[in-house]
């Protein structure tokens, strides 16, 4: 049995009978022919193992980033699914491309980005997504998905719903402007910085620098304290409930959403008394309550139990159900 502790950012132990690392399309197809029920892993940055696995694990480890010039100062960037997301962001910045700077330092593989529709600081990856190539596990054929076909939503996509378990993303393409466009500095700390420093012009590289600084100051490094970033989604609630809660809690952060009102999950968890809370080595980060952490010795089951405890308290106090962003196995 192989321990998956090095293969998940929570750093929890879980065993698998077999682990295969694939770097080519041929190797992936051969691995699936031998192990059709295998679990597919990238960086393991959005998963919590709560028990040993009966099935093998295939780790997607293909590499490579290419560019192709389009018209109107646009550049198509295609990255292998096994690339680190932040390596892709840094690559685009080095090429003086705009768009992905707000998504710096997200601990994800490129292949997981469309599945989760990752986002941060006012930007989501789907805004620049062009297409992805995926393997259909039902017949081992390659399929190209457009943005529309991916059905992106808030931390959601076709690959988490109808396509779940059927498709393996192999490469992802983004179309990015090569000339400065209107940059997104709506997130309060970014907006405040540029208002306080009018002599400094917002640039993609400067925004990335600030985002990295903010993330490092607020979020734990998975290499030092196991975590998967935001554990819960920010819930979207009906306007009626939002107004009721705002009357009860006037400091409740609310944001407009297409299908209601978005509430800051970190605020709810903090107000429920969990910020900095630990039960053994499983706990809640003391600077960002949205992040559950493993101080080193926690099991996945203990972290999952803590998440259920948080969900219950938040619902009892605010009548809001928190939905995990992390996949719990």
CB of 106 closer than 8 Å to CB of 225: no
Cα dist from 293 to 224, 280, 286, whole Å: 10, 11, 10
Q: From 324, 288, 320, select the one nearest 308 (Cα to Cα).
A: 324
Helix (H) or strand (E) run with residue 196 in it: helix 188-196
Active site includes 182? no
Active site includes 30? no
- If one counts every other C-beta atom within 10 angstroms of the C-beta of residue 253, the result is 13
CB of 212 closer than 8 Å to CB of 101: no
| Euclidean distance between CA atoms 72 and 69, whole angstroms | 9
Q: How far apart are the first and last CA of the chain?
A: 18
Active-site hit among 230, 299, 302, 307: 230
| Euclidean distance between CA atoms 112 and 204, whole angstroms | 23
Active-site hit among 155, 171, 302, 307: 155
CB of 7 closer than 8 Å to CB of 59: yes
Chain centroid offset of residue 303 CA: 18
Q: From 56, 102, 81, select the one nearest 209 (Cα to Cα).
A: 102
Active site includes 215? no
Say if residue 191 is exposed, middle or buried (CB neighbours under 10 Å; 0-12, 13-18, 19+). Answer: middle
> Which residues touch 3 (CB under 8 Å, ≥6 apart)?
13, 14, 15
3-class DSSP assignment, residue 75: strand
Which residues are annotated as catalytic? 155, 230, 325
């Amino acid at each position: 049995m192989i321990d998956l502790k090095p293969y998940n950012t929570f750093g929890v132990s879980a065993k698998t009978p077999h682990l295969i690392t694939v770097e080519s399309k041929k190797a992936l197809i051969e691995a699936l022919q031998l192990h059709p029920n295998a679990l597919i892993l990238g960086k393991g940055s959005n998963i919590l193992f709560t028990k040993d696995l009966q099935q093998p694990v295939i780790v997607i480890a293909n590499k490579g980033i290419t560019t192709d010039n389009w018209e109107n100062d646009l550049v198509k960037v295609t990255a292998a699914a096994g690339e680190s997301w932040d390596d892709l962001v840094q690559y685009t910045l080095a090429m003086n491309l705009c768009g992905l700077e707000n998504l710096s330092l997200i601990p994800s593989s490129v292949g997981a980005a469309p599945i989760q529709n990752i986002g941060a600081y006012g930007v989501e990856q789907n805004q620049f997504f062009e297409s992805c190539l995926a393997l259909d596990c039902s017949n081992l054929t390659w399929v190209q998905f457009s943005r529309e076909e991916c059905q992106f939503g808030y931390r959601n996509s076709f690959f988490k719903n109808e396509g779940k378990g059927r498709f393996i993303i192999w490469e992802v393409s983004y179309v990015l402007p090569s000339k400065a466009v209107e940059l997104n500095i709506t997130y309060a700390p970014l907006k405040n910085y540029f208002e306080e420093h009018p002599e400094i012009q917002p640039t993609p590289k400067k925004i990335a620098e600030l985002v990295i600084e903010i993330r490092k100051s607020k979020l734990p490094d998975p290499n030092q304290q196991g975590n998967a970033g935001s554990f819960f989604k920010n819930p979207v609630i009906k306007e009626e409930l939002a107004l009721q809660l705002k009357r009860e809690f006037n400091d409740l952060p609310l944001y407009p959403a297409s299908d209601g009102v978005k509430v800051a999950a970190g605020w709810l968890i903090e107000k429920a008394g969990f910020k900095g809370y630990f039960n053994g080595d499983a706990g809640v980060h003391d600077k960002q309550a949205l992040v559950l952490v493993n101080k080193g010795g926690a099991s996945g089951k203990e972290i999952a139990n803590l998440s259920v405890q948080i969900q219950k308290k938040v619902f009892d106090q605010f009548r809001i159900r928190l939905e995990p962003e992390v996949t719990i196995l």
